[in-house]
Amino acid sequence: MDLDVFVSAHRAQWDRLDSLVRRRRRLTGAEADELVTLYQRTATHLSLIQSSAPDPQLTGRLTQLLARARSAVTGTRRASWRDVAHFLARGFPAAVYRSRHWWVPTALISTAISAVLGWWIGTHPQVRATIAAPSELRSLTRPGGEYETYYSSHPAASFAAQVWTNNAEAAALCLVLGAFIGIPVLWVLFQNMLNLGVGVGLMSSAGRLDTFLGLVLPHGLLELTAVFAAAGTGLKLGWTVIDPGPRTRRTALAEEGRAAIGMAIGLALVLFVSGGIEGFVTPSGLPTWARIGIGLAAETAFLVYVYVAGGRAARAGETGDLAPEERSAELPLAA
């Protein structure tokens, strides 16, 4: 193909397409139809140039022109408050509900592991000796010790923000690292359960397990549920790499990955609530039963939200993924 002749023959069409794209908000019906036709022709021209006489400068120009024309043809869609409401009412709870077969077993197994670690540390002095010196252990577990003052050592607002940031980061890591066949997720999860097990073991050995649970349960119920949901979803994403099911691996990872990103945003909001409880309720002067009651109420509200609203949305076909019209095409489409 003689590139100069080809360019001379079609330059007028490209210039006309460029002119229509620039005026796309003021086009008549006939001009809109012309824009679509020229977009299709220019896409064919680009394909011919790339296969027969590739020229980097011309290819780049036509690629940019087609990108602008495609935006004019398909339109651009901006997120609105309606999208936010849909995400919170249907998308996010449906995504959490759909992954329940992963995060519920994750929660049960992780809690059991943490309990076993706590029992092992609490009943074996030689194990506690490897954690810290006896004086340091007493400083941690005594009345008014570090386990108790930890929650009131900083102003409530800054402490809540710090806790939220740390927990949101851990949840995001679980979701992002899931693509690596889920192995890093298990490590992040084990670190969290180990920290909890150490606290249970040390405080139970000092006869103050009730105090420890009174400090942890108000915020820990919702916080750990969010972490378990993130870890379970990360493991699900990792399993998708191994077994994508009837979908292609690329399609499966794209769908599950987009849902995981949405879950990361939703779980950040959940962890914001648990961080507020940890910053303002846990160190408050409320009776232990009242603080735990607030934690139970928050946990119950979240589970009802997931299993009722999320279950209803999931049964109606909601997956937490983008709407079909907003996804990239799985197969090449004719221009």
At a CB cut-off of 8 Å and minimum separation 6, what does 66 contact?
A: 39, 42, 43, 46
Report which residue type is found at 62: L
Per DSSP, the residues of 251-306 read HHHHHHHHHHHHHHHHHHHHHHHHHHIIIIITTSSS-HHHHHHHHHHHHHHHHHII
User: CA–CA distance from 156 to each of 38, 97, 113, 219, 276 (Å)?
Assistant: 61, 32, 31, 14, 8
pLDDT score of 335 more than 60: no
In tens, the pLDDT along 144-187 reads 888 888 777 667 676 677 767 777 777 777 777 776 777 888 88
pLDDT score of 118 more than 80: yes
CB 253 within 8 A of CB 210: no
Residue with the larger pLDDT of the pair 67 and 128: 128
Average pLDDT, the chain: 84
315 exposed, middle or buried (CB, 10 Å; 0-12, 13-18, 19+)? exposed
- Of 72, 10, 20, 2, the residue nearest 46 (C-alpha): 10
In tens, the pLDDT along 210-228 reads 999 999 999 999 999 999 9
Report which residue type is found at 45: H
- Of 197, 208, 201, the residue nearest 143 (C-alpha): 208
CB 35 within 8 A of CB 72: yes
pTM, rounded to two decimals: 0.70
Domain segments of the chain: what residues?
Answer: 3-74, 82-325
DSSP reduced 3-state for 199: helix
Considering just the CA atoms, what is the radius of gyration of the chain in Å?
Answer: 28
In tens, the pLDDT along 285-298 reads 899 999 999 999 99
pLDDT value of position 80? 65
In tens, the pLDDT along 43-59 reads 888 888 877 777 778 88
User: CA–CA distance from 42 to each of 15, 68, 88 (Å)?
Assistant: 11, 12, 41
